[in-house]
Amino acid sequence: MAASNFFLLAAFIVLVATQAMASDPSPLQDYLFRYDLCMFLNIVRVNGFPCKDAKDVFVDDFFLAANLDKPMDTTKSKAGSNVTLINVMKLAGLNTLGISMARIDYAPKGQNPPHTHPRATEILTVLEGSLYVGFVTSNQANGENKLFTKSLKKGDVFVFPQGHIHFQFNPRYDKPAVAIAALSSQNPGAITIANAVFGSHPPI
pTM of this prediction? 0.80
Q: CB neighbours of 161 closer than 8 A, spacing ≥ 6?
A: 121, 135
Instruction: Report percent pLDDT > 70 for the chain.
Output: 75
Class of domain 36-199 (CATH, top level):
mainly beta
| pLDDT value at residue 3 | 55
3-state helix, strand, coil in the chain (%, to 5): 20, 30, 50
Q: Where are the domains of the chain?
A: 36-199
pLDDT digits (tens, 9 = 90+) for 8-45: 545 555 444 544 455 566 665 666 554 555 655 566 66
* Whole-number Å distance between alpha carbons of 92 and 85: 14
Q: Which residues are annotated as a binding site for Mn(2+)?
A: 115, 117, 122, 166
pLDDT digits (tens, 9 = 90+) for 73-97: 999 999 999 999 999 989 988 888 8
Mean pLDDT of 138-154: 96
Q: Which residues are annotated as a binding site?
A: 112, 115, 117, 122, 166
The yes-or-no verdict on residue 201 having pLDDT over 90 is yes
Q: Which of 20-29, 44-53, 58-67, 126-135 has the highest mean pLDDT?
A: 126-135
The yes-or-no verdict on residue 130 having pLDDT over 80 is yes
Q: Which residues are annotated as a binding site for oxalate?
A: 112, 117, 122
Lowest-pLDDT choice from 25-29, 56-60, 123-127, 161-165:
25-29
